[in-house]
């Protein structure tokens, strides 16, 4: 699938190791070199701000989708476009609709919730877009172990789990996102 707009979920903190910031900038630069646009959570805090700031600097189109309540509380970058939604649910729906694929960078519970929902919707066939983890510093090791445990215990099918793309190198990540075949594998069969 040709990807123009990448939806990225990431921490509202930068993490305790500078590697998270550095590798976020590396991904931002690679996406910019390849002419991609960004859709993200709209704030300036943490890796979100690092990512959006860098992509704006590189001349990319950056759209922030932010709920009214958060918008009044956080700092703002001069984005290409800011979409304000009434609540968190409509924010996520909007982000899912206008992105061609999804990437999670390291983050906290907000990031895990958002990427898990995108992955759940893929599994259920609500969308056929690629879902991925940018595995900086092997951050997602324990999340992947959880998915493995859930598969071993019979709660996730391998055909669904194996659709989650996990990569730590921007070029390989984008290549896998662009070659994702988009077929829905029926959860109920």
Structure tokens at 121: 């919707």
User: Can you give the binding site for ligand AMP, defined by CB under 6 A?
Assistant: 9-13, 41-43, 45, 48, 66, 70, 74, 107-111, 114
Shortest spacing between CB 13 and ligand AMP, in angstroms = 6
- The CB-of-141 to ligand AMP minimum distance in angstroms stands at 17
Q: Quick one: angle between helices 170-179 and 18-33, nearest 10?
A: 50
Nearer CB in complex with ligand AMP: 78/154? 78
The smaller minimum CB distance to ligand AMP, of residues 76 and 187, is found at 76
Distance CA 136, CA 125 (A): 28
Nearer to ligand AMP, 109 or 153 (CB): 109
Residue 120: CB minimum distance to ligand AMP, A: 16
Q: Which is nearer to ligand AMP, 111 or 135 (CB)?
A: 111
Residue with tokens 């009434």: 86
Question: Smallest distance from the beta carbon of 114 to ligand AMP, in angstroms?
Answer: 5
Nearest residue (beta carbon) to ligand AMP: 110
Parallel, antiparallel, or unpaired: how do β-strands 5-9 and 101-104 relate? parallel
Which CB atom, from 75 or from 154, has the smaller least distance to ligand AMP? 75
Strand partners, 103: 8, 132
Whole-number Cα distances in Å, 137 to 49, 118, 162, 173: 19, 23, 21, 15
Q: Hey, is 55 helix, strand or coil? A: helix
Helix (H) or strand (E) holding 7: strand 5-9
Identify the H or E element spanning 88: helix 88-98
């Amino acid at each position: 699938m040709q990807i123009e707009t990448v939806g990225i979920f990431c921490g509202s903190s930068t993490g305790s190791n500078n590697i998270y910031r550095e590798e976020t900038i590396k991904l931002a630069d690679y996406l910019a070199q390849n002419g991609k646009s960004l859709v993200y959570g709209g704030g300036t805090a943490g890796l979100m701000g690092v990512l959006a700031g860098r992509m704006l600097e590189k001349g990319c189109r950056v759209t922030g989708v932010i709920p009214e309540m958060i918008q009044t509380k956080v700092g703002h970058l001069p984005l290409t476009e800011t979409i304000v939604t009434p609540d968190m649910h409509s924010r996520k729906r909007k982000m899912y609709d206008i992105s061609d694929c999804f990437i999670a960078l390291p983050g906290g519970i907000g990031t895990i919730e958002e990427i898990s929902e995108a992955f759940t919707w893929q599994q259920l066939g609500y969308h056929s877009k690629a879902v991925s983890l940018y595995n900086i510093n092997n951050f997602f090791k324990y999340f992947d172990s959880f998915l493995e445990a859930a598969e071993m215990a019979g709660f996730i099918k391998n055909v669904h789990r194996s659709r989650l793309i996990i990569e730590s190198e921007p070029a390989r990540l984008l290549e896998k996102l662009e070659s994702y075949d988009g077929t829905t594998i029926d959860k109920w069969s």
